[in-house]
Each structure stands twice: as structure tokens, then as C-alpha cells.
């Protein structure tokens, strides 16, 4: 965990268009009418997706406008939750689970693979790759694992991680889920 | 009421109190950082842990006493071994990341963390890791930040959303990385922001203008009242030698609760700038220092050479009742009725219930709706605005505004800019009428800006008619309120310092002055007039700052500022309070009443008093309403009067620049810095 700040480079256009507003308004229906601020987390998440995986200041202001919330309150939310990125996170955002089960099964090697192949944590490479270590992603049975954008890649080791990253760079098709061919989290045969 | 036991002693306390409040009533000290009576409960500092025991036995672990309510038969232990351990533990954790910089911290000597570490702390720390460091934030010209010291009690955050209503301060990040900040280091805009300095239990938020200038134990503390606005907030002036070092609020639940405005808190450096410390007279167009003797002689000569009907006097916004009374007696003795205290041109007159805040400030809590007419209430009385903000949290509480559509920090129905809307409401031709009809105890707040101009009396009569029609006034409720913004106005009105029948009002005095029809003008601290120098009229200015009034004067009497003399003030509710001397008048300056007394002596007029005590006795005998020791009673309802259709009545903005409303504020560099800050932000 580090102190989260808005990115230095805010050079991005961000505005909710009619399609966005239609979706955001549909979010509001999930909450009582006078409590529309409840929609702040899904709204920010939507904004993050729209802006390409991170929240520029304009997105925070747009959400605060949309929900009639003081901007500091939206900033509080955006800095509180670790799944909101305030820094650009590239086209392929790699989240490496480093919590105990994954760590016991070799998450350090996965981190090394990312470091070797992508670079320093939180830095976006030329290929649009960026990685960070995160807390448990809830796939401990298939540890160690990483999440790239919306998909999980499980049962990894150093080599398979590098292969995935290379395949992403070369725009090859990658199998999602387990990398050792097991189906979901069925039991492994012991050697 | 419930029966509880605190530390094995029996108490009976009100139902629904938090344990910490019950302990407070019982006189048992429970340490706390985040809990504050006027703010919502956060329960995050864990300092107020106590043991409780009910019918099910002792609680499995200590509970936060701020977040748990008392119940029948509850036994509370505040000093048990387990509680002591828990409190020591909480403090040890708080001190883990708190720097040991008390010797260079401005909070030293009045720091909650310091005091409670002494009283409840463990004495040493077992922590040998690195302490965390946090960037300090820029919160504008009033609040100095040292965020490494912050213990995250979130009092300032709750204050900014609940009391000042601006939602400007928040906590970003989480856990170890949590930081208190404004949105991207913007300056706080609220008029009440300075209160977070008092709220902060440590030295994270301190006063920027006061930084490193004194320690609390070196200061002389004078409990007095504030005159920056007409609310009469209770303050404590801390002085060192001849200088006022800072101003703090005092608790008064009827008036300011425990807050003061930033203007009150930071005006004090204005007392050191631009002061008039000796008499001046104009020689060849230039004001030159002179002696008291020759100044008084010159004044006597000029007064006796002028025709009494061509002499007039105006009193300013910061003057105490006694000196206005003395001036009134002087004018009556000279034979002139041309005196007025309403220098902004307001036309209030008649009995007190027509120009006072009849419901009282506490009455706001009982009200169930509000109609604000011609008042920019956030600038005229920010603390009153904060009370309305609290009421407006209730969705049922409807607020209507006629006049100025400004940001009041809460939502309101803006009915329009035109005074004639009041006439529409009277004939039930307005959308807001339905809301008004459903209210049982509504408030009407009439600003001074609504009562300026020829048609003002008529307009007020319409408002009174409206008040009777819509429950603003009924048998057990009087919600007809006039809000003042000048501290001395209500007092001066109550002793009749305005012409009744004959005599000229401010507007006529000014036009006569401009048309060379005036021989002599006596300005008692009157600065807000916008007059040009006119050589045909001899102007005597009595005051403490070389401000607008002194610029056009031919003779200047140096007077004491309000905190350099004792004096009575009546606030906008009609409450009379005494301002107490905290420092001495500067240089050769004298107290205001004394200057007028010396002038009458010079002119051989017997004015009937020779000391402030005699003056005050005489004043109270003639006007019993001024007695500061009298029980404060609500006034009768104002009487209905005849009215006509409005004829071009307009609202006037009486405060254009909130930070520069009087001569002390204009001389204050603290406040002008704040004023310029707004301009810079606007330009950005």
C-alpha cells in the first residue's frame, strides 16, 4: 500500500456522454431516491473503465457532478479502495496476488517474472503492460495466480507467466484460467 | 431518567445519553480525542474505553463510552485495571506515529494529547520502528497544517460537513496511509473554518497568523464579546502586554454555541495597524498631530459657532451603547435632533419588537420552516446560517429565500429577487404558500438590505401582515425576526439614537453634507458612509482607525477600540452583554464616553455624569432594556400597521466584501490576505 495521489499527467478528455448517463441513471434505480450518493462506487468503477483503467481528475469531478456530491467525498472513495487506480494502468493491467496461499505456492517467482518482463511495479511499459501486487483475489485453490484486466490466469510459475506476458505482447490467443490444463479447481494428481 | 452506577456511585441521568456524557455530568473524567459534543459520533480514537456491567455481567471487552448509551442499572467502571490498560494501549498506539516535537509545536500547553498522555499514558513507548511522515497540506491563509501530528480523530472532517456545511475537508487513503486534506490542497472557503483549529486535539491544525508568537500560559485571558457581527458571540481575548495575540470562542449555548467566525478569530492584527494614537487637526489641508487641549478647544469653538439645526451626528457599527448615549445627550443639549445610527440607510424604527430577532437564536431549534427576506444570511451572520444548516438536514424543514440567490451551504427554494413577491405570498399567489400554510412555527428573517429606502416602513408592514397571516406570529410563537449586521445597531436603536419626528436621517444628513448645507458633522466611529471631503462642513471624527471616516475629518479624536474599554452592546436578539477591556487604549487615545464627557466639560455643559458607572446608572434608569443584569425576556409581537402597495422598493446588498466590513477588519492583514485569496481563486 502506498499513498495514492492523482496522476501528474492529466492529459485526457473525459466526459459522460448520453449513453454513459443512461447507464449511470440505471444504476441509481438500485438505491433509494434520496440516497443517490450510494451509487458512488459503481459510478466510479464505470468511469474508470471508460477512462481506460484509471481515474483522471476529470472523471472524479464528473462523478461528483452526477451524484451531487462534494468532490472531496468522491476523492475519499477513489483513494480508499485499492481497485480504483489513480495512475494510468496500461492496456493490460496485471494484478499479482501476493497473499499467503499464493505466496506459499511461489508468488514471489511470479512477481520476479513481471519485474523481469514488464519492469518496475506500477510503471506502464511500452507494450502497455503494467503490474502491481494486490491482496487476495479469491482464487487460492489455484494459487499462484494473476489477474489481467478482467480475466484470471491460475496455477502459474515463472515460465508460464512470462509466456502469458509474451503472448499478450504478440497478440496471441491465451487460454484463460488454469495454465496446467486442469478444469476449474478439480483435484490435482499427486506425484 | 435511568439509574446507573459510575465507579460504584449512584447517579440518575437522562435517558439516551452516551456513557461519556453521563460521566461528564457525574464529574468523572473520561479521556477522549474524537468525541465532541457538537459533532456526530465517530468512535475511532478508542481513548474513551470503559468497562460496563449489566444484568448479563461484565462486558467481554472494554467499550467505547462515546458510542454506547446508558441503560437502566448499568454499572460503569472508568478506573479499573483493564480500562487503565486499554487506555494506555490506545495512547501508546496513537503516540507511535506522533512526532515528539512538542517544544516546537504551537499546541504545546493546550494539547489534548499532551495532557492525556500525562494523565492516562503509559510513560514510555515500546515502539522502535520508523515513524510515518505526512506531507503538510495547504488549507489557506488561516489554517497551518503539520499533518505528521494528526491522529485521525476526524473532528475537522465532521465539522466541515456538519457545522460549516461546505464539505471541504476529508480523509483520503486508508489505514496507515490515511491523510486529512482538502480537495487537492485547495484553501477552505468557509467563514467558520477557523474552528477546526480549536477542534483539533493535537497540533496538526493550528492558527497560521498566531504561529510561534506566544505560549498559552503567557497570555492574559479576558472573557468578553465579539462585535464583528451583530450576534454578540462570546469570545476570549488573549493578550500579551499591550497586544492582542489571538481570539478564541467561549461556550454560550444561547448565542454562538462554541464556534466563532473567522472574521472574529483573526481580526486582531487589525488592532495594531492604522491606529489613531493622538488627536489630529487639519492644517492647510493636511491632518497634523495636536494636543487634547487644543483639539477640545477647537471642537468647542466650531460647535458653538454652528447653528444647532446644521449640526448632525452619526454613529458607527462598532460603538458601545454608553458613548452613543453620551453623544445623544450632547446633541440634545446643543439643541440638535439630527443624529442617526443607521449609517447603511436602513429605515427601521418604532418599538424594539419591530427590529429585533424576536424568536431568539434558540428559537430556531423549535421552528419548522423559514422564510429569508432580503438577507445574505451567510455573510451577515455565518453562525446563524450554521444553525439553519442544522435544521435543513430535516427534509420537512422548508426554507424559502426572497432576495439574494447565494450559496448558503444548504438547499432552499429561491422565490425570486423582487420584493413584490412578498405581496404575492400575501394574496396566496405563490408556490411556496402551500409549504407556509403547513408550518406551525415558521421563522421570518428580514435582513437590513430589505429595509433600506423610502418604502422600507411600508414593506416591513407588509411583512408583519404576512407574519400574522402565516403563523409566523401567533399566540405562542413569535417568529418575526430582523437580522442586524452591525454590532452597535440594536443598542443604539434601543436608546433612540435616531430622529423621531423632527431631525434628519442618515440619507438627509449625507445629502445636506454634499450640498454644503451642513456646518458640523460628528462621526462617532462612522466609517461606512462614502463621503467626499467637503470644506464647507467641519467634520469631527472620533474613532480608533485611520479609515474612511478619518480621511474626511478636520478634527480627529483618538478613541479606544472595543477591547480597550468596557462597554455595553445589544445583539440582534436584544440580549445586552458587556465587552470587557483586555488591553489599554493606544497612545493618547481615551475611552469613547470619556471623550464626549471631556467635550461637554470644555463646553460647560452639565451632562449629569463624570464616570462610566454614573453614566451607566443613568442610562439604565432611562432605558431599563439596556440593563445587562436583567432577565432576558422575549418581546411582545409587533403590531400590525397600515400598508400600501409597494412602489419600486428594492433590496440592497449591505455586505459586499465579507472580510472588510468594518474599520478593524479593513486594517487587518490577516483578513485582507483571506480576501485576496478569494480573488486569486476566482481568477484561476
The neighbour count for residue B22, using CB atoms within 10 Å, is 23
Chain A residue with minimal CA distance to B185?
A72
pLDDT of residue B54: 92
- Which residues on chain A are in Cβ contact (under 8 Å) with B167? 70, 72-73
User: Can you tell me which residue has the cell 483522471?
Assistant: A56
pLDDT of residue A191: 64
Rounded to the nearest angstrom, the gap between the alpha carbon of residue B432 and the centroid of all alpha carbons in its chain is: 31
pLDDT of residue B530: 86
Tell me the shortest Cα–Cα distance from A77 to chain B, in angstroms. Answer: 8
Judge whether A87 and A102 are in contact, CB under 8 Å: no
Q: Which residues of A touch B (CB under 8 A)?
A: 1-4, 6, 34, 57, 70-73, 75-76, 79-80
- Which residues on chain A are in Cβ contact (under 8 Å) with B176? 1
Chain B residue with minimal CA distance to A2?
B177
Judge whether B86 and B49 are in contact, CB under 8 Å: yes
- Which grid cell is A17? 456522454
Q: Is B162 at the interface with chain A, CB within 8 A?
A: no
Over the stretch B523-532, which tens digit does the pLDDT of each residue have? 999 999 889 9
Q: Is B396 at the interface with chain A, CB within 8 A?
A: no
User: Can you tell me which residue has the cell 435543513?
Assistant: B392
| β-pair type (B339-340, B538-543) | unpaired
The residues near B191 (Cβ < 8 Å, ≥ 6 apart) are B164, B261, B262, B263, B378, B379, B382, B658
Please give the full DSSP string across B426-484, using - where no structure is assigned. HTT-STHHHHHHH-SSEEEEEEGGGSBSTTHHHHHHHHHHHHHHTTSEETTEE-EEEE-
- Which residues on chain B are in Cβ contact (under 8 Å) with A72? 167-170, 181-183
- Reported ipTM: the value is 0.91
Chain A residue with minimal CA distance to B174?
A80
Q: How far apart are CA B228 and CA B359, in angstroms?
A: 22
pLDDT of residue B679: 66
To probe the interface with A, which of B161, B184, B193, B407 has the most A CB atoms within 10 Å? B184
Q: How far apart are CA B204 and CA B207, in angstroms?
A: 10
- Which grid cell is B663? 474599520
pLDDT of residue B502: 86
The residues near A12 (Cβ < 8 Å, ≥ 6 apart) are A51, A56, A58
Chain A residue with minimal CA distance to B181?
A72
pLDDT of residue B682: 62
Answering whether pTM is above 0.80, one says yes
Q: How many residues belong to chain B?
A: 684
- What are the residue ranges in chain B where pLDDT is below 70? 679-684
- Which residues on chain A are in Cβ contact (under 8 Å) with B161? 70
Cross-chain residue pair A80–B174, CB shorter than 8 Å: yes
Tell me the shortest Cα–Cα distance from B616 to chain A, in angstroms. Answer: 51
CA distances to B149, B369, B410, B460 from B432, rounded to whole Å, are 50, 11, 17, 20
Tell me the shortest Cα–Cα distance from A80 to chain B, in angstroms. Answer: 5
Over the stretch B578-637, which tens digit does the pLDDT of each residue have? 999 999 999 999 999 999 999 999 999 999 999 999 999 999 999 999 999 988 888 899
The residues near B124 (Cβ < 8 Å, ≥ 6 apart) are none
- What contacts 24+ positions apart, CB below 8 Å, involve A33-38? A34/B395, A36/A67, A36/A68, A37/A67, A37/A68, A37/A69, A37/A73
Cross-chain residue pair A75–B183, CB shorter than 8 Å: yes
Tell me the shortest Cα–Cα distance from B285 to chain A, in angstroms. Answer: 55
Helix (H) or strand (E) holding B492: helix B489-494
Cross-chain residue pair A70–B168, CB shorter than 8 Å: yes
Cβ-nearest to B173 among A4, A71, A73 = A4
CB-facing half-sphere around the CA of A100: CA atoms within 13 A? 0
User: Which of B282, B267, B169 is CA-nearest to residue B226?
Assistant: B267
Chain B residue with minimal CA distance to A77?
B172
The DSSP call for residue B661 is S
- Which grid cell is A134? 494486490
- Which residues on chain B are in Cβ contact (under 8 Å) with A1? 174-177
Cα dihedral: B233, B236, B240, B243 (round 10): 10
Cross-chain residue pair B169–A34, CB shorter than 8 Å: no
Cross-chain residue pair A75–B171, CB shorter than 8 Å: no
pLDDT mean for each 10 residues of chain A (191 residues): 85 95 96 94 96 95 96 96 93 95 96 95 92 94 94 95 94 92 84 64
pLDDT of residue B587: 94
pLDDT of residue B635: 86
Q: How far apart are CA A122 and CA A114, in angstroms?
A: 11
Q: How far apart are CA B174 and CA B215, in angstroms?
A: 34
Over the stretch B266-296, which tens digit does the pLDDT of each residue have? 999 999 999 999 999 999 999 999 999 999 9
Cβ-nearest to A72 among B168, B173, B395 = B168
Cross-chain residue pair B173–A72, CB shorter than 8 Å: no
pLDDT of residue B358: 94
Chain B residues 189-218 with a CB less than 8 Å from chain A: none
To probe the interface with B, which of A79, A83, A86, A135 has the most B CB atoms within 10 Å? A79
Tell me the shortest Cα–Cα distance from A187 to chain B, in angstroms. Answer: 38
pLDDT of residue B501: 80
- Which residues on chain A are in Cβ contact (under 8 Å) with B171? 76
- Which residues on chain A are in Cβ contact (under 8 Å) with B182? 72
User: Which of B170, B245, B193 is CA-nearest to residue B214?
Assistant: B245
Cross-chain residue pair A79–B174, CB shorter than 8 Å: yes
The DSSP call for residue B188 is P
Rounded to the nearest angstrom, the gap between the alpha carbon of residue B504 and the centroid of all alpha carbons in its chain is: 31
Angle at the Cα of B180 from the Cα atoms of A9 and A95, rounded to 5 degrees: 50
Please give the interface size between A and B, counted as residue pairs whose CB atoms are below 8 Å apart. 43
- Which residues on chain B are in Cβ contact (under 8 Å) with A2? 177
Cα dihedral: A169, A173, A179, A185 (round 10): 130
- Which grid cell is B642? 397600515
Cross-chain residue pair A70–B174, CB shorter than 8 Å: no
Cis peptide before A14 (omega within 30 of 0): no
Chain A residue with minimal CA distance to B133?
A3
Cross-chain residue pair A72–B170, CB shorter than 8 Å: yes
The residues near B655 (Cβ < 8 Å, ≥ 6 apart) are B376, B379, B380, B485, B661
Cross-chain residue pair B184–A80, CB shorter than 8 Å: no
Judge whether B170 and A76 are in contact, CB under 8 Å: yes
Longest dimension (CA), chain A: 60
- Which grid cell is B216? 498559552
Q: How far apart are CA A39 and CA A63, in angstroms?
A: 10
Cβ-nearest to B173 among A3, A72, A73 = A3
Cross-chain residue pair A79–B183, CB shorter than 8 Å: no
Q: Is B389 at the interface with chain A, CB within 8 A?
A: no
- Hey, is A124 helix, strand or coil? coil
- Which residues on chain B are in Cβ contact (under 8 Å) with A75? 170, 172, 183-184
Amino acid at each position: 500500500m502506498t499513498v495514492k495521489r492523482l496522476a501528474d499527467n492529466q492529459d485526457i478528455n473525459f466526459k459522460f456522454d448520453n449513453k454513459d448517463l443512461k447507464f449511470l441513471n440505471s444504476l441509481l434505480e438500485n438505491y433509494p431516491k434520496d440516497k443517490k450518493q450510494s451509487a458512488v462506487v459503481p459510478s466510479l468503477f464505470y468511469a474508470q473503465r471508460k477512462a481506460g483503467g484509471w481515474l483522471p481528475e476529470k472523471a472524479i469531478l464528473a462523478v461528483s457532478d452526477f451524484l451531487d456530491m462534494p468532490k472531496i467525498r468522491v476523492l475519499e472513495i477513489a483513494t480508499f479502495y485499492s481497485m480504483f487506480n489513480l495512475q494510468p494502468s496500461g492496456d493490460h493491467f496485471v494484478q499479482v496476488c501476493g497473499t499467503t496461499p499464493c505466496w506459499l505456492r511461489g508468488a514471489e517467482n511470479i512477481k520476479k517474472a513481471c519485474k523481469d518482463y514488464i519492469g518496475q511495479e506500477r510503471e506502464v511499459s511500452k507494450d502497455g503492460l503494467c503490474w502491481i501486487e494486490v491482496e487476495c483475489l479469491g482464487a487460492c485453490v489455484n494459487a499462484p495466480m494473476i489477474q489481467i484486466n478482467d480475466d484470471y490466469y491460475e496455477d502459474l510459475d515463472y515460465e508460464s507467466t512470462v509466456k502469458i506476458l509474451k503472448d499478450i505482447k504478440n497478440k496471441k490467443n491465451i487460454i484463460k484460467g488454469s495454465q496446467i490444463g486442469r478444469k476449474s479447481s478439480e483435484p490435482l494428481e499427486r506425484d | 431518567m435511568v439509574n446507573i452506577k459510575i465507579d460504584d456511585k449512584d447517579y440518575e441521568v437522562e435517558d439516551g445519553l452516551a456513557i461519556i456524557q453521563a460521566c461528564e455530568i457525574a464529574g468523572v473524567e473520561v479521556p477522549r480525542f474524537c468525541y465532541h459534543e457538537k459533532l456526530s459520533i465517530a468512535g475511532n480514537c478508542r481513548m474513551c474505553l470503559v468497562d460496563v456491567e449489566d444484568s448479563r455481567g461484565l462486558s467481554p471487552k472494554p467499550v467505547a463510552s462515546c458510542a454506547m448509551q446508558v441503560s437502566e442499572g448499568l454499572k460503569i467502571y472508568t478506573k479499573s485495571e483493564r480500562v487503565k490498560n486499554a487506555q494506555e494501549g490506545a495512547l501508546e498506539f496513537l503516540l507511535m506515529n506522533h512526532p515528539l516535537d512538542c517544544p516546537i509545536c504551537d499546541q504545546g500547553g493546550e494539547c489534548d494529547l499532551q495532557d492525556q498522555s500525562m494523565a492516562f499514558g503509559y510513560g514510555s513507548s515500546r515502539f522502535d520502528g520508523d515513524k510515518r511522515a505526512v506531507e503538510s497540506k495547504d488549507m489557506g491563509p488561516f489554517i497551518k497544517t503539520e499533518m505528521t501530528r494528526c491522529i485521525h480523530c476526524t473532528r475537522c472532517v465532521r465539522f466541515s460537513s456538519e457545522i460549516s456545511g461546505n464539505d471541504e475537508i476529508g480523509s483520503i487513503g486508508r489505514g496507515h496511509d490515511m491523510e486529512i486534506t482538502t480537495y487537492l490542497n485547495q484553501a477552505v472557503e468557509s467563514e467558520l473554518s477557523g474552528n477546526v483549529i480549536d477542534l483539533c486535539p493535537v497540533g496538526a491544525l493550528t492558527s497560521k497568523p498566531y504561529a510561534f508568537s506566544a505560549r498559552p500560559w503567557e497570555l492574559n485571558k479576558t472573557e468578553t464579546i465579539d462585535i464583528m457581527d451583530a450576534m454578540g458571540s462570546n469570545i476570549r481575548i488573549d493578550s500579551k502586554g499591550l497586544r492582542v495575540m489571538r481570539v478564541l470562542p467561549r461556550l454560550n449555548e444561547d448565542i454562538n454555541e462554541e464556534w466563532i467566525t473567522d472574521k472574529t478569530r483573526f481580526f486582531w492584527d487589525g488592532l495594531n495597524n492604522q491606529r489613531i494614537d493622538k488627536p489630529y487637526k487639519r492644517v492647510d489641508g493636511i491632518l497634523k498631530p495636536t494636543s487634547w487641549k487644543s483639539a477640545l478647544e477647537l471642537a468647542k469653538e466650531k460647535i458653538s459657532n454652528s447653528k444647532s439645526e446644521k449640526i448632525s451626528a452619526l454613529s458607527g457599527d462598532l460603538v458601545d451603547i454608553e458613548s452613543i448615549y453620551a453623544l445623544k445627550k450632547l446633541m440634545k443639549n446643543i439643541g440638535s435632533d439630527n443624529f442617526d445610527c443607521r449609517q447603511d440607510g436602513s429605515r427601521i424604527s418604532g418599538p424594539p419588537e419591530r427590529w429585533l430577532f424576536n424568536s431568539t437564536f434558540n428559537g430556531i431549534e423549535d421552528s419548522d420552516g423559514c422564510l429569508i427576506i432580503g438577507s445574505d444570511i451567510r455573510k451577515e451572520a455565518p453562525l446563524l446560517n450554521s444553525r439553519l444548516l442544522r435544521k435543513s438536514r430535516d427534509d420537512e424543514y422548508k426554507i424559502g429565500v426572497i432576495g439574494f440567490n447565494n450559496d448558503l451551504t444548504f438547499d432552499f427554494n429561491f422565490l425570486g429577487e423582487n420584493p413584490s413577491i412578498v405581496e404575492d405570498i400575501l394574496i396566496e399567489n405563490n408556490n411556496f404558500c402551500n409549504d407556509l400554510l403547513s408550518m406551525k412555527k415558521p421563522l421570518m428573517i428580514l435582513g437590513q438590505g430589505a429595509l433600506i429606502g423610502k418604502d422600507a416602513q411600508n414593506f416591513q408592514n407588509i411583512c408583519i401582515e404576512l407574519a400574522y397571516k402565516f403563523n409566523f406570529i401567533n399566540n405562542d410563537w413569535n417568529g418575526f425576526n430582523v437580522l442586524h449586521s452591525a454590532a452597535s445597531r440594536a443598542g443604539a436603536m434601543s436608546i433612540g439614537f435616531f430622529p423621531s419626528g423632527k431631525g434628519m436621517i442618515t440619507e438627509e444628513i449625507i445629502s445636506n453634507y454634499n450640498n454644503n448645507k451642513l456646518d458640523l458633522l460628528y462621526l462617532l466611529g462612522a466609517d461606512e458612509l462614502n463621503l467626499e471631503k467637503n470644506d464647507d462642513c467641519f467634520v469631527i471624527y472620533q474613532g480608533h482607525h485611520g479609515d474612511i471616516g478619518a480621511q474626511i475629518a478636520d478634527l480627529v479624536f483618538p478613541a479606544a477600540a472595543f477591547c480597550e474599554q468596557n462597554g455595553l452592546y445589544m445583539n440582534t436578539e436584544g440580549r445586552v452583554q458587556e465587552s470587557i477591556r483586555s488591553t489599554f487604549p493606544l497612545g493618547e487615545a481615551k475611552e469613547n464616553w470619556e471623550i464626549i464627557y471631556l467635550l461637554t466639560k470644555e463646553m460647560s455643559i452639565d451632562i449629569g455624569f463624570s464616570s462610566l458607572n454614573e453614566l451607566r446608572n443613568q442610562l439604565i434608569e432611562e432605558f431599563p432594556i439596556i440593563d445587562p443584569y436583567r432577565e432576558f425576556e422575549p418581546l411582545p409581537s409587533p403590531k400590525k400597521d397600515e400598508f400600501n402597495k409597494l412602489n419600486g422598493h428594492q433590496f440592497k446588498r449591505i455586505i459586499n466584501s465579507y472580510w472588510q466590513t468594518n474599520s478593524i477588519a479593513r486594517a487587518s492583514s490577516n483578513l485582507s490576505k483571506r480576501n485576496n485569496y478569494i480573488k486569486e481563486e476566482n481568477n484561476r
